[in-house]
Amino acid sequence: MNEELETESKDPSVLDTFYYFNTQHNGALSMGPHLDPGFFSVTPASLVPGLQVVDQSTQSWVDVEAEAGAGNLVLFCAESLERWSAGKYSATNHQVVTSMQRPRLSVVFELRSHNEGDAFE
């Protein structure tokens, strides 16, 4: 197979899994505040609380599981979508904190472009 063709045919989108042991004290950061690359990320809300997003109006952290309910899908706008929409859609600042209930497993799909830098020129 042509190496150039093989490289171009690979999908840049990813399906990530994260396992948080939740062994630190309650409220400690398991994953610090960050924005995802790409267009958007989607994850089911967990049975174990810990995912937080920034409320744009108050700049305070909101517990996703308390708002969305476990099992519902949570959609995050990501950095490429913010650039592509000229700021109409803001990338979602989010973090994960420990809950001390039990370990937390997250599965996240991130939709990304082949040439994210080129998509906006």
For each of the chain's 121 residues, which pLDDT tens digit applies? 445 545 555 788 999 999 988 777 777 888 999 999 999 999 999 988 999 999 999 999 999 999 988 779 999 999 999 999 999 999 999 999 988 778 889 999 999 987 655 444 4
Report the CATH number that the domain containing residue 65 is assigned in CATH.
2.60.120.330
Q: pTM here?
A: 0.81
Domain range for residue 40?
A: 10-113
Six-digit token pair at 41? 């990320």
Q: Is the dihedral of CA 16, 21, 24, 26 positive or negative?
A: positive
Question: For residue range 3-38, what is the model confidence (pLDDT) as tens digits?
Answer: 554 555 578 899 999 998 877 777 788 899 999 999
| Neighbour-count burial of 59, counting CB atoms closer than 10 A to its CB (0-12 exposed, 13-18 middle, 19+ buried) | exposed
Tally of structural domains, the chain: 1
DSSP lists the bridge partners of residue 63 as 52
Residue 53 structure tokens: 């997003």
Sequence-ordered strand ranges (E) for 10-71: 14-20, 29-34, 40-44, 51-54, 61-63
Domain membership flag for residue 121: no
Residue 41 lies in a domain: yes
